[in-house]
Amino acid sequence: MSTDPPPYYDNIGYADLSDFFYVWLRRSLKTIFPNLFATLAVPKAEELVATPYRHGSKQKAEAFFLDGMTRAMHGLAEQAHPGFPVTIYYAFKQSETESGAGTVSTGWETFLDVVIKAGFSVSGTWPMRTELGNRMIGSGTNALASSIILVCRRREADADIATRRDFITALKAELPGALQQMQKGNIAPVDLAQAAIGPGMAVYTRYEKVLDAEGNHLPVREALSLINQTLDETLAEQEGDFDPDTRWALAWFEQSGFEEGEYGVAEILSKAKDTSVAGMVEAGILTSGRGKVRLFKPGELPEEWDSTADPRLTVWEMVHHLIRVLEAGGEGAAAKLAAKLGSKAETARELCYRLYTICERKKRAPEALSYNTLVQSWPEIMRLARSPDKPEPVGGELF
């Protein structure tokens, strides 16, 4: 069984949008379908969305959504065949940051709560490329590149009860492997946090209950927060594959981005990362002078850079030179550079995930878009890099 369950919490008011078309359809079709076009506008009271202006408050709107969606999911659970999974398409991106609670998504939290209450356990998530990059909602934003397919089965009747510690231990054991598989599949960074919910919730929902230290039920919101926290820790652990200069640049970027910072702070940080400011100036990743330090933006890097002749090659350089040539010359130009980098290029792609996560958390949309675009272009860049002598296919736009 497979279903696409719009509406998406409070993101899109389909009934309101339908009025634009309904008024014109009613003029021409009222006499043919009098019952269908009996009202002056589209009926809205029963639309299953969490819109406070229809219900009087945010709490009442959420309760309406939760009750209606629970009944719908119960219907799915009753009809589901035990031998086959239920797949639910869900493309929802809404993050809220709360002090002490990490990053959570109200839409995901409410929907997952519904799925669990209906008697499902989550087997995993499959990101599927369903969204056009040139659609209106994706123009100039970090909109999702994919729909996230939630894969569910009916929860076992004899499922165990676990503690919060059991849940965290299982999460740290299983999420890194799932994350690695997603990265190998070239999932876009903008979709990574959403897709990681699946393996994390697979751990959470395999138990009948997860109990906190006081013996209370661990809510979905806290489970999502712990999943996001483990995701951040897993991406941070991947820094061990990077050179000292790149590890310093990551820490500096998280703190200051591409803005200037104090030389003294930079020097202290460099000692912790086993490098030096002077060495990184020589490596070509930053500028230093008058007591200030600043990382070079991709557009400021030298066009004549040759990775094969660089005596102090860093993963940080590779990523930002790839972004520079991709933005200036497209995938063909990036492929030529990737061919020179050889196997080192794959490490550069891994760094993009970490950088995107930082940018998303720090609200740095332009930089986030650059890292996401490089990862999304990666399959084509690698294809061209493997066959640099073959001419690129020539074809115009359809429209």
Angstrom distances, CA of residue 310 to CA of 231, 250, 284: 33, 20, 10
Q: How far apart are CA 55 and CA 66, in angstroms?
A: 13
User: Tokens 């995901």 sit at which residue?
Assistant: 108
Axis crossing angle, helix 189-205 with helix 106-117, rounded to the nearest 10: 30
Amino acid found at 136: M
DSSP state of 143: -
Q: What pLDDT, in 10s, does the model give residues 35-83?
A: 989 999 998 888 888 888 888 898 898 888 888 888 888 888 888 888 8
Taking residue 87's Cβ as centre, other Cβ atoms within 10 Å add up to 17
Query: Which pLDDT score, from 0 to 100, does residue 141 have?
Result: 41
Residues whose CB is less than 8 angstroms from the CB of residue 391 and which lie 6 or more positions away in sequence, other chains included: none
DSSP H helical ranges for 4-117: 14-29, 52-55, 58-79, 106-117
CB distance 279 to 245 below 8 Å: yes
User: Tokens 């993050």 sit at which residue?
Assistant: 95
Q: What pLDDT, in 10s, does the model give residues 262-296?
A: 999 999 999 989 999 999 999 999 999 999 999 99
User: Tokens 């809220």 sit at which residue?
Assistant: 96
Axis crossing angle, helix 345-362 with helix 164-184, rounded to the nearest 10: 130
Query: Which pLDDT score, from 0 to 100, does residue 391 have?
Result: 47
DSSP 3-state assignment of 83? coil
CB distance 307 to 338 below 8 Å: no
Query: Which pLDDT score, from 0 to 100, does residue 130 have?
Result: 60
Residue 152 phi/psi, 5-degree rounding, is -125, 155
Q: How far apart are CA 396 and CA 91, in angstroms?
A: 30
Amino acid found at 232: D
Angstrom distances, CA of residue 345 to CA of 84, 215, 339, 376: 40, 48, 8, 14
Query: Which pLDDT score, from 0 to 100, does residue 143 have?
Result: 45
Q: How far apart are CA 49 and CA 162, in angstroms?
A: 33
Is the CA virtual torsion 363, 139, 181, 165 positive or negative?
positive
DSSP state of 82: T
Percent helix, strand and coil across the chain, each to the nearest 5: 55, 10, 30
- 127 upstream amide cis, omega within 30 of 0: no
DSSP state of 192: H
Q: How far apart are CA 368 and CA 381, in angstroms?
A: 19
DSSP secondary structure string for all residues of 210-274 = EE-TTS-B--HHHHHHHHHHHHHHHHHHGGGGS-HHHHHHHHHHHHHTTS-EEHHHHHHHHHHTT
User: Tokens 């839409």 sit at which residue?
Assistant: 107
Element (H, E) at 362: helix 345-362
| Spans of the chain, pLDDT less than 50 | 94-103, 132-145, 391, 394-399
Query: Which pLDDT score, from 0 to 100, does residue 329 have?
Result: 93
Angstrom distances, CA of residue 317 to CA of 73, 270, 283, 345, 369: 49, 17, 9, 11, 18
Picking from 334, 328, 310, the residue whose alpha carbon sits closest to that of residue 392 is: 334
Q: How far apart are CA 184 and CA 204, in angstroms?
A: 24
